[in-house]
Structure 1
Amino acid sequence: MFIEHLPPESHTMTALRNELTPQQLAEQADKGEPEKGRWSQQEQILASVYDAVRYLEWTLKCVNTDKKAKTPDPPEPMRRPGAGPRKKKAQLTDKSANRLFELLQGGAA
């Protein structure tokens, strides 16, 4: 009973959350229970502000980049606790491009 009323950032609550499986963390995220996340609400808000500032900085760079130059890549959001690693973007190689072209032209697998 006392444990339920501890602040989310307390050592005890952090230790309990760290024992959760990725599936349990995902279920809590789906239920919208930020207090059960690995960060306190203040840390979550600060991360959101950090992401917003970086996005605004990126937007400013894009607006001031010469139209002929390559647009800078957008910033990656700060990784949140309980979130799995980001998936790498697929790179289109010459081999995969040729294979895709063959498939689009009616080539069999």
Structure 2
Amino acid sequence: MLVEHLPPESATKTEIRNAVGADEVAAHGEYRPDLGQWSATEMMLAAIRDELMLSRYVAIAAAGGKPPEFHPTPRPGVPPTSAQRTGGGMTDEMRRALDPRLREQPMEA
């Protein structure tokens, strides 16, 4: 009962998280960051780092450069599906249909 109310960064909770094996996390089958090796604070720091990296890539692209491909910070207990794109994204025709400002733009080759 007392352990449930400890902060996630406490030594006891950290030891409990470290005792959970990767096979047990994979067998659970759903997103459970509380079964990972990081506390909520560390997960937040990883999210902040990802946002900073994305901002950097946007600044490079806005200046006319070609930023490297973005890879999110790997997080234990969280499957890396956010890094994998499925479906290929939107085509130019789809973008033109959604945004009337693009309809007058010349087609790119």
Shift of 1:80: 1.4
8 A contact 1:25–1:82 mirrored in 2:
yes
| Structure 2 residue identity aligned to 1:59 | V
Q: Do structure 1's residue 13 and structure 2's residue 8 form an aligned pair?
A: no
Which position in structure 2 is the counterpart of 1:78? 73
CA deviation digits over 1:44-83, x for unaligned, max 9?
12211110111111121122225xxxx3312322221346
| Structure 2 residue identity aligned to 1:43 | E
8 A contact 2:32–2:78 mirrored in 1:
no
CA-based RMSD = 2.7
TM-score normalised by structure 1 residue count: 0.56
Q: Which runs of 5+ in 2 are unaligned?
A: 81-109
8 A contact 1:17–1:38 mirrored in 2:
yes
Residue identity (%): 34
Greater Rg over alpha carbons, structure: 1
Shift of 1:43: 2.0
TM-score normalised by structure 2 residue count: 0.56
Name segments (4+ residues, structure 1) moved above 6 Å.
Answer: none
| Structure 2 residue identity aligned to 1:26 | A
How many residues matched? Answer: 80
Q: Which runs of 5+ in 1 are unaligned?
A: 86-109
